[in-house]
Amino acid sequence: MTHSNTLRQQVLVLYLDTSALDSRVVGWARYDGTGTTRPTTGDSDEPPYETGVAALRDGWRLFQAAQLVPPYPGTEHETSFLKHEFFFEKLEKGE
């Protein structure tokens, strides 16, 4: 049985243009452990925030940033995964 005053975690994953928190958001995902919303991939054409700093200003707490790994020599201009990944959380009351 869950209690309405129990804190649950909301997670926001932002992929930024560079490793700087004030750079532009290029990809994102949301997860809501409170059960109040059910976000899905592709449910918005606009990012929830313009930058990582904007998420911080809105109360999200940064708890993980991607390790900065230099590209392997010769692969500097190849397309790959989004490497500037930042995880944020908020604690909210659950259902």
Read off the pLDDT of residues 36-92 as tens digits, 9 standing for 90 and up.
888 877 678 899 999 999 999 999 999 888 777 776 788 767 766 677 888 999 998
What is the C-alpha to C-alpha distance for residues 49 and 24, in angstroms, rounded to an integer?
Answer: 9
pLDDT at 79: 66
Q: In a 3-state reduction of DSSP, which class is residue 56? A: helix
Q: Is the pLDDT of residue 95 over 90?
A: no
| Residue for token pair 């926001």 | 12
| Structure tokens, 4 | 């309405």
- How many residues make up the chain in this entry? 95
47: nearest Cα among 27, 71, 23: 27
